[in-house]
């Protein structure tokens, strides 16, 4: 797998976007953009990059949203709409005229925003373990988590400036891992994500990026009223063991893609919230099938 690279785009006063191709770009293949979950980075898609059938089906291009990995912007404030615009500008900068977009958790609503903004560019979206709502009472009534309760303590704790030697507390990393991977995170994976987070979130800049990312998660706008503008096909995959967003919520929201060329929900038995990482065999096989059907 190639190293993470960066590319310059004009959005937000000029931005540096972290990205990674699985292998050298092949113009004869469709492209699959992959957008990572909260506080993670392109490394979330290690199971996708090593899948030979998926790699033979599409160019695999992981993009890091604002506040994540190596992505930086001149402006300190950003939203999920900004990350969607950035993803489209990266495609333009790379000379890629169309792509499928897969997104894990927050990546799912970035994928949906990309489809809304550029229906001629986005050929299909694959949201994984996500929700199209804001952190509403409706979603909690359907068995989803309380995102306000989860995020607010971290937002408050990250409010004050810190010194250059600050790194993200492992307690916060472990809280994210528990929600994304479940309680039984292998020791090797836990150590990997501790190290990765503590490389990406250091000093006062790291604190500020993490805080805005947490605010975005807690305070984002819902997409229900906009989903009828998604015209491309949708394959939503959701695990039954997802601790953040429920299957019941996914079953309700897939029906809102009323103008999609084809909207399908696939439930993965035992699947966790970061489904691309915990259940890659199911995700990868379904993604290959989806791309081959709609390319």
**Which region, left, alpha or beta, applies to residue 134 given φ > 0 means left and ψ of -120 to 50 means alpha?**
beta
Task: Give the pLDDT confidence of 63-93 residue by residue, as tens digits.
Answer: 999 999 999 999 999 999 999 999 999 999 9
**If you search the block for the tokens 């991977």, which residue do you land on?**
181
pLDDT at 1: 44
DSSP state of 270: T
pLDDT at 3: 83
pLDDT at 49: 97
Q: Which residues contact 220 (CB under 8 A, 6 or more apart)?
A: 79, 80, 109, 134, 135
pLDDT at 2: 54
Give Cα separations from 59 to 112, 156, 199, 210 (angstroms): 20, 40, 27, 29
3-state percent helix, strand, coil for the chain, nearest multiple of 5: 45, 15, 35
Low-confidence ranges of the chain (pLDDT < 50): 1
pLDDT at 204: 98
Task: Give the pLDDT confidence of 228-240 residue by residue, as tens digits.
Answer: 999 999 999 999 9
């Amino acid at each position: 797998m190639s190293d993470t690279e960066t590319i310059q785009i004009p959005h937000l006063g000029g931005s540096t976007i972290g990205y990674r191709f699985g292998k050298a770009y092949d113009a004869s293949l469709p492209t699959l953009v992959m957008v990572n979950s909260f506080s993670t980075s392109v490394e979330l898609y290690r199971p996708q990059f090593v899948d030979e059938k998926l790699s033979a089906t599409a160019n695999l291009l992981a993009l890091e949203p604002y506040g994540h990995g190596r992505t930086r912007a001149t402006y300190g404030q950003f939203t999920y709409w900004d990350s969607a615009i950035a993803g489209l500008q990266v495609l333009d900068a790379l000379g890629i005229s169309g792509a499928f977009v897969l997104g894990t958790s927050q990546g799912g609503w970035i994928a949906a925003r990309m489809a809304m903004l550029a229906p001629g560019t986005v050929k299909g979206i694959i949201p994984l373990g996500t929700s199209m709502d804001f952190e509403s009472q409706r979603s909690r009534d359907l068995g989803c988590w309380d995102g306000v309760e989860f995020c607010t303590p971290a937002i408050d704790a990250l409010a004050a400036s810190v010194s250059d030697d600050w790194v993200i507390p492992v307690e916060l990393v472990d809280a994210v891992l528990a929600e994304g991977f479940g309680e039984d995170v292998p020791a090797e994976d836990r150590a990997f994500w501790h190290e990765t987070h503590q490389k990406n979130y250091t000093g006062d800049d790291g604190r500020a990026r993490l805080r805005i990312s947490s605010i975005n998660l807690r305070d984002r706008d819902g997409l229900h009223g906009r989903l009828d503008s998604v015209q491309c096909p949708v394959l939503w995959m959701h695990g039954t063991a997802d601790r953040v967003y429920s299957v019941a919520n996914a079953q309700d929201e897939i029906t809102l893609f009323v103008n999609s060329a084809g909207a399908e929900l696939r439930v993965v038995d035992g699947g966790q919230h970061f489904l691309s990482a915990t259940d890659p065999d199911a995700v990868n096989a379904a993604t290959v099938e989806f791309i081959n059907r709609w390319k």
